[in-house]
Amino acid sequence: MTGRQDGGGLGPLAAGRYRWLDVDRLADDPRTRIIVCCGSGGVGKTTIAAAVGLRAAERGRHVVVLTVDPARRLAQSMGLTTLDNTPRPVAGTQTSAGGSLHAMMLDMKRTFDEIVEAHSDPDRATQILANPFYQSLSSSFAGTQEYMAMEKLGQLRRAEEWDLIVVDTPPSRSALDFLDAPQRLGRFLDGRLIRILTGPAKLGGRAYLRVLNTGFSLVTGVLTKVLGAQVLRDVQTFVTALDTMFGGFRERADDTYRLLQTPGTAFLVIAAPEPDALREASYFVERLSRDRMPLAGLIVNRVHRARATRLSAARSLAAAEMLQNGSAPGGSAGPGSGRYQLAEAALRLHAERMQLAIRERRLAEHFIAAHPAVPIAEVPARPEDVHDLDGLREIGVSLAGADDPA
Amino acid sequence: MSTRDTDWDGVRLHVVTGKGGTGKTTVAAALALALASGGRNVLLMEVEGRQGIAQLFDCPPLPYGERKVAVGPAIGPQQGGDVYALAVDPEAAFLEYLAMFYNLRHAGQALTRLGVVDFVTTLAPGLRDVLLTGKAAEAVRRRKGGKYLYDAVVMDAPPTGRIGRFLNVAAEVSGLAKVGPIRGHADTVQSVIRSPQTAVHFVTVLEEMPVQETLDGIAELRDEAHDGMQVGGIMINMMRPGVLSKTDLSAAKDGTLDEDELATGLKAAGIEESRSLAAELAADLAEDARAMDLHRRERQRLAAAGQPRYELPLVPDGMDLAGLYRLAEALRDQGAA
């Protein structure tokens, strides 16, 4: 499918040289089981994820939206008031097409606690949950949130209660963290240091014994010196207690990674029409293709459209200047007289909007030139944030291209 | 040096936070430039490994070392001071810490190989933040020839949602170390952060979510757990001037703009099809009026926080050094630096 012709709007996608991303076709397709919305912070991932989920549900699918950190009013509009890891039905969803919508907010610590509880006996679980290192790992380790989001995604997928899961990825420092984090955490928990700290008892061969013993005393020496003896004891208790679960962690992270690579998964990269966000989107697109992750397309969110595109920015600005200086024919008024103040204001605003629209289009064209095969959809900027299902529906309509003026 | 009064005289560590997308790094850089006027030397540091400063100043990625990236504006006969930049990397900071306090430079390499450094800087509760804020505290207190090396340090800090926790170093490590060297280090850092020498500035734009996060962040810093921390200014970024007069603004909002008047004006400017154009432009104006109305509401909400506010213009066509100087000037004109 090729891009549609330029209608009244002058969005970044008016160029007509891109492939159009058909969000409805993607979300309606029963083979699509997971949609992952990713992108850098502040581009509106959560809102897009919710809008995609609502639209798919109202078109007949059984959808659950997994969100990580929604704005308060958006969360309220979906009936989410607590972080409780429980999918709840979203009141107000139209079910006439036979679909349904649930939403849940991720409680990362609880998700982690549940893994621990599922994999160890009650005494050991209690011991782990009380350990300060575990508490740090489960609440503030860079990567735990991403890891737990993916863990939850795997759980929801296995539950087979929904036929479409829409995930809003955690607000990462960079969009790429989200792909790396689960593996990094898995690697970390399964790593060499952890093996050393769990003590020389488990060593396989003699040759390693000496090396690892040296390593062990060096590590413990430094940790004692820098952190103190109590800390070292906590570390050892922690790793010993978690020991039984290590293999499992790595495996779980790998499983999740594979789940993301299956054809039933579709990645939507979200960006705002700004240099940083689009640069991040470019990296992400490249990374997804390198990792053979199924990319569905790019959504450019908050695009500014200008009306009356037949009047160019330069012409509009010149006309405004003319009115201001009173040099318009029959306009003897002179500067500041305010005779054509309204027209002058309208022309200045028009010039500003045209310039903004053109700048955004140029940025999008750079992206298109670098990634001509990536389908694109756009969502226009709104004056206010979305607070209710109606707002989400409107975004869904824009996403599907149903509001295109052409 | 500068005899001019600013709102933050006496502050030497400026922590700049903001929601993603509000231009936190840009404003931090502009503030560093503004502070570097009149021969004062400033260190601009980032802590999130994004190399945002290098991108902004259009230079190669910063190593773990302080490097001059710009010169502050000259004020009259006074030359501008230097702006140095540093991308703090927690692993490098940890190795530096080991070398500085424990003379463990060589052990550092072995520890890196074994994954200890990764462990300590990512997992040990709060230690990462202690290392990052510790570097800032060290730079603030560094002296050369009896004088402070840097007149001010500006930190491009983590986003608003994490700032309270990031700065609350002592509480963060309390689970880890009740006594001992780390605790001592954290206490030193804390004494800098919880002092009138430090101010935490919030960058926002006039949209609902960033404003809400700003207000939440300010409330958090004012709670008991953050006792002694100074809330700084609110930097309202990417401001657009309004085009309409007050009367026209309310008419545009109500949809009662006089399209005839508009069309007459367009015609006077020599524009054809002025009638059909007037209808479209009136729709633009109505949309803009609603946006301005929203801005006004968000501005009032920010005013209620009772902190000094600074307004920074939208710099069209992308941020570059010229744009940074413009923002720096705006900050100086309004007394932020």
pLDDT in tens, A261-320: 899 999 999 999 988 889 889 988 998 998 889 999 999 999 998 889 999 999 999 999
Chain B residue with minimum CA distance to A138: B123
Q: Give A174's DSSP letter.
A: S
Query: What percentage of chain A exceeds 70 in pLDDT?
Result: 73
B279 to chain A, minimum CA–CA distance in Å? Answer: 9
Interface test with B, best of A40, A226, A274 (most B CBs within 10 A): A226
pLDDT in tens, A76-97: 778 787 767 889 999 999 999 9
Rounded-to-integer distance, Cα A137 and Cα B320, Å: 39
ipTM score for this prediction: 0.83
pLDDT in tens, A12-43: 454 456 889 999 999 999 999 999 998 887 78
B269 to chain A, minimum CA–CA distance in Å? Answer: 5
- Among A41, A191, A277, select the one facing B159 at the smallest CB separation: A41
Rounded-to-integer distance, Cα A285 and Cα A297, Å: 9
Rounded-to-integer distance, Cα A114 and Cα A137, Å: 14
Q: To the nearest 10°, the Cα dihedral for B258, B263, B269, B270? A: 180
Contacts of B22 in chain A (CB under 8 A): 42
Tens-level pLDDT at each residue, chain A (406 residues)? 444 433 334 444 544 568 899 999 999 999 999 999 988 877 889 899 999 999 999 999 999 999 887 777 778 778 787 767 889 999 999 999 999 999 999 888 898 898 888 878 898 888 888 887 788 778 766 567 777 888 888 889 989 999 999 998 876 655 566 666 666 666 666 666 666 665 544 444 444 444 455 566 766 777 677 666 776 677 777 777 666 665 666 677 778 788 888 999 999 999 999 888 898 899 889 989 988 899 999 999 999 988 899 999 999 999 999 998 876 555 444 444 567 899 999 999 999 999 999 999 999 999 999 999 999 999 999 878 888 999 999 999 999 987 654 4
pTM metric for this prediction: 0.85
Produce one character per residue of A127-138: b if its CB has 16 or more CB atoms within 10 Å, e if not: bbbebbbbbbbb
B244 to chain A, minimum CA–CA distance in Å? Answer: 6
- Among B20, B125, B265, select the one facing A171 at the smallest CB separation: B20
Contacts of A344 in chain B (CB under 8 A): 265
Contacts of A341 in chain B (CB under 8 A): 245, 248, 265
- Among A193, A275, A315, select the one facing B115 at the smallest CB separation: A193
A193 to chain B, minimum CA–CA distance in Å? Answer: 6
CB contact under 8 A, B316 and A272: no
A160: alpha, beta or left? (left if phi > 0; alpha if psi -120 to 50): left
Contacts of A41 in chain B (CB under 8 A): 19-21, 159
- Among A42, A219, A311, select the one facing B114 at the smallest CB separation: A219
CB contact under 8 A, B280 and A308: yes
- Among B177, B243, B318, select the one facing A348 at the smallest CB separation: B243
What does residue A63 show for φ and ψ, rounded to 5 degrees? Answer: -120, 140
A117 to chain B, minimum CA–CA distance in Å? Answer: 21
Using DSSP's 3-state secondary structure scheme, residue B310 falls into strand
CB atoms within 10 A of CB B144: 8
Ordered alpha helix ranges (H), chain B: 24-35, 52-56, 90-102, 105-114, 116-122, 127-141, 160-167, 169-174, 181-193, 208-221, 246-254, 259-268, 274-303, 321-333
CB contact under 8 A, B182 and A227: yes
What does residue A297 show for φ and ψ, rounded to 5 degrees? Answer: 160, -175
Chain B residue with minimum CA distance to A174: B50
- Edge-to-edge, what's the strand order for the sheet holding B231-239? B67-71, B82-87, B42-46, B152-156, B13-18, B198-204, B231-239, B309-313
Decide the pairing of beta strands A100-105 and A62-67.
Answer: parallel
CB contact under 8 A, A188 and B268: no
Interface test with A, best of B128, B176, B259 (most A CBs within 10 A): B176
Using DSSP's 3-state secondary structure scheme, residue B47 falls into coil
- Among B111, B248, B258, select the one facing A222 at the smallest CB separation: B111
Chain B residue with minimum CA distance to A354: B284
Radius of gyration of chain B, Cα coordinates, nearest whole angstrom: 24
Rounded-to-integer distance, Cα A196 and Cα A216, Å: 6
Contacts of B318 in chain A (CB under 8 A): 275
Q: Which residues contact A338 (CB under 8 A, 6 or more apart)?
A: B245
Contacts of A72 in chain B (CB under 8 A): 212
Residue B310 β-bridge partners: B235
Interface contacts A/B by beta carbons within 8 Å: 207
B73 to chain A, minimum CA–CA distance in Å? Answer: 27
For chain B, percent helix, then strand, then coil, each to nearest 5?
Answer: 50, 15, 35
Does residue A198 contact residue A240 with C-beta atoms inside 8 Å? yes
CB contact under 8 A, B50 and A174: yes
